[in-house]
Structure 1
Amino acid sequence: MALSFTCYASLITKSQDQLNYSKYNGVEKVKSIIKKTVIPSVSYSPVESLQKGNWVKLICGASFEDLVDIRNLSLVYTLAGVDCIDCAAEASVVNAVNEGIEAARALVPIRRPWVMISVNDDEDLHFRKAEFDPDDCPQDCTRPCEKVCPANAILQKGGVLAERCYGCGRCLPVCPYDKIRAITYVRDVTATAELLDRDDVDAIEIHTSGREPSVFKELWSGLGNSTTNLKLIAVSFPDLRDSTISAMKAMYAIMEANIQCFNLWQLDGRPMSGDIGRGATRNAIAFARKLASAGDKPKGFLQLAGGTNDHTVEGLKKEGLFQMTTVHEASRYETIPSSLHSPNALIAGVAFGGYARKIVGRVLSSVQSHHGLARVEDFPEQLLQAIIESLALVGTVKCYNIQKPST
């Protein structure tokens, strides 16, 4: 699917009168602009993306709970064609994701991405919050914590905004007075099971160290029959080196009897580091190389995460791991025979978290700083800028053949 940014460039440079909401009906104008931009109207399902090897997941963050940002991120990345949106296992967060998805589909007819909730079986980097008492901070502190926070979750005098903190931990080592603490938590299994019963939740991801089968089994047992109607069950785990395959087999043995959908292994190469730079993605690619070559791994698609960014696909291609395949007839996907658990592509796809939020967040932050808690579609110029950023990233996996407009 070839995509050109020519139409985006021309739209963004149109006269301010054409984009000014004081003269035009806001919602209708946004619809008109978006429909002229050749946004890819995805014609194949998330299942087909997994089979083809160009699945893309947006990670909103297992601990990120800023509802306005989540809603706007979901809108933008739905328009960019992601297959799944992964979010915190909180009802209000799930509502925000679905609201963003439906707002996008109201602008452009596009298929709905799956909604996934993330939970943990034990302590995990993705399930923590930073915390400190700003009254304890010395007056002359230069506040390096505020400067390194990628989520803008630290206020000058108000401490940490819990809903924006997603637990990256970058503030912890830079505090010169050792005032910042990491508060960890485990998602409640009963509340998770209730969320899975909703019609607008399609998938679950279990974050685990892979080293403690007993806690994994306890969580899985607690979910009971709530996984019955899911479309995908994912397990996210780090590189365990020589014990990786044995850990995967142990977890699959626990799940196997109750899996009635596809399963996926999320290879968490370098957690919480996707917005750092080119080097961040190397661990994820190395992890993928090892798993793709392993012949005795259990069933399930392989998907990269942890350190993924706009350099990830380039690295996969260099390793010969990015191999998209042709999708067979749609009838093949009406049922789920066991053979479909083994993907045709070596790597099913890529999940983008911190980097995806960062590149679009720059645009969303400019909207919020000028207009407060706002819907991004009410500001068409900023919306188009956000779409350009998201399409460029998603396009590395979807092969949109995108060229950014020259300045």
Structure 2
Amino acid sequence: MGNWVKLICGASFEDVADIRNLSLVYTLAGVDCIDCAADASVLNAVNDGIEAAQAILPIRRPWVMISVNDGEDLHFRKAEFDPDDCPPDCSRPCENVCPADAIFSNSGKAGPSKGVLAERCYGCGRCLPICPYDNIRAITYVRDVAATAKLIQRDEVDAIEIHTSGRQAESFQQLWNGLGDSIHKLRLVAVSLPYLGDLTIPAMDSMYATMKTSLHCLNLWQLDGRPMSGDIGRGATREAIKFALHLASLEDKPKGFLQLAGGTNAHTVEGLKKERLFRTTSISDDSKGEKVPLDSPETSHALISGVAFGGYARKIVGRVLSSLQSDYGYARLEDHPDHLLKALQASLALVGTVKCYNAN
């Protein structure tokens, strides 16, 4: 690793048409992994998009990751409200603030006048405080561990990501044990956790102790700085970089690669460079006096091995997908070369901030 890039489709995002086209575009852009909801239809959409990309170019297949949670988590919730409770003259600020276009109005057409498209909502929560009538609520859920284990048994799943608060050791252990022998089919296990201050390393140590006896693949720690905020602007990435800077300064931490998420966008790598955290070619002496790569899992030196892009990655390509839908309805992106080119240019510009680092 060192220039690893992951596309986050969203642990709760289930719009299979968009997911299929996003997977197509970002496979062509060269991502290493695509992270999606632990749902069979979503998984099929991701793999369909990857296969469509490979039909265009003989490109390497990215790893496919599914996301689960061991308890209540921001990434595993949906907004919900009853349109009948909304006054007719409401200005619908919720619709304007939704980054996923999941809240809609349907005035003058058949069907409900307003509502939430559950498959598009990925739980950012921006609509919750802005409703002037306090009508919107969040519905949380936990992915079923038995169903997840069955999904992992499929050949299309390469990795799993466990979202955790880091404060519930028993819940994490129950989830891990519930996955059973399916873990042995994986190439990577990732754990996504928030910054817990002085409790961060003890929490990581506890989770690693739970995993290590049956962990026969790579492991990765996803540092979730400011969840689902990358599309907001330059400042959103600061907390992710601050989290990385803190963790990278510590030598006594469990094995595993470090990856940034939560607020990541086109400014993230620039911020990492300023902190001298994003290095891929440096080497350092190990305890035996031998030279080892800084991105080796055996080293304790500071290095961020990769970046995961979620909301921002979906936003920049989503503009093209919205235009495609407006012009042609739900369509295969590769059937419309002009739209495909625009989407690919946007995705390459983002992925290139990581992949082209050594060329700078």
Instruction: Return the TM-score normalized by structure 2.
Output: 0.92
Query: Within the alignment, does 1:377 sit opposite 2:326 as a pair?
Result: no
Letter of the aligned partner of 1:112 in structure 2?
A: R
Letter of the aligned partner of 2:328 in structure 1?
A: H
Identify if the C-alpha distance between structure 1 residues 251 and 118 changes in structure 2 by more than 3 Å, giving closer, same or farther: same
Letter of the aligned partner of 1:100 in structure 2?
A: G
Counterpart pick for 1:242 among 192, 198, 210: 198
- What are the superposed Cα offsets for residues 91-129 of structure 1, whole Å, 9 maximum, x if unpaired? 000000000000000000100000000000000000000
The size of the alignment, in residue pairs, is 341
Root-mean-square deviation (CA, aligned residues, Å) is 1.6
- What are the superposed Cα offsets for residues 301-352 of structure 1, whole Å, 9 maximum, x if unpaired? 000000000000000000000101289xxxxxxxxxxx95336871100000
Query: Within the alignment, does 1:117 sit opposite 2:80 as a pair?
Result: no
Alignment of 1:8-407 (within 5 A): 50=1, 53-156=2-105, 157-325=113-281, 340-342=296-298, 346-399=303-356
Give the Cα–Cα distance (whole angstroms) in 1 for the partners of residues 25 and 352 of structure 2. 14
Give the Cα–Cα distance (whole angstroms) in 1 for the partners of residues 254 and 129 of structure 2. 38
Whether contact under 8 Å (1:325, 1:345) holds in the other structure is no
Identify if the C-alpha distance between structure 1 residues 104 and 326 changes in structure 2 by more than 3 Å, giving closer, same or farther: farther
> Structure 1: where are the runs of 5+ without partners?
1-49, 328-338
Letter of the aligned partner of 1:101 in structure 2?
A: I
- Select the structure with the greater relative contact order (CA < 8 A; seq sep ≥ 6): 1
Letter of the aligned partner of 2:50 in structure 1?
A: I
In the TM superposition, residue 278 of structure 1 has moved relative to its aligned partner by 0.5
- DSSP 3-state at the match of 1:174: coil
Letter of the aligned partner of 1:285 in structure 2?
A: I
Report percent identity of matched pairs. Answer: 75
Structure 1 runs (4+) greater than 2 angstroms displaced: 339-345, 400-403
Whether contact under 8 Å (2:249, 2:302) holds in the other structure is no
- What are the superposed Cα offsets for residues 263-299 of structure 1, whole Å, 9 maximum, x if unpaired? 0000000001010000000000000011111110000
In the TM superposition, residue 190 of structure 1 has moved relative to its aligned partner by 0.3
Identify if the C-alpha distance between structure 1 residues 284 and 84 changes in structure 2 by more than 3 Å, giving closer, same or farther: same
Give the Cα–Cα distance (whole angstroms) in 1 for the partners of residues 297 and 357 of structure 2. 27
Whether contact under 8 Å (1:127, 1:167) holds in the other structure is yes
- DSSP 3-state at the match of 1:219: helix
Whether contact under 8 Å (1:267, 1:306) holds in the other structure is yes
> Structure 2: where are the runs of 5+ without partners?
106-112, 284-294
Instruction: Return the TM-score normalized by structure 1.
Output: 0.82
- What are the superposed Cα offsets for residues 14-47 of structure 1, whole Å, 9 maximum, x if unpaired? xxxxxxxxxxxxxxxxxxxxxxxxxxxxxxxxxx
- DSSP 3-state at the match of 2:281: coil
- DSSP 3-state at the match of 1:173: coil
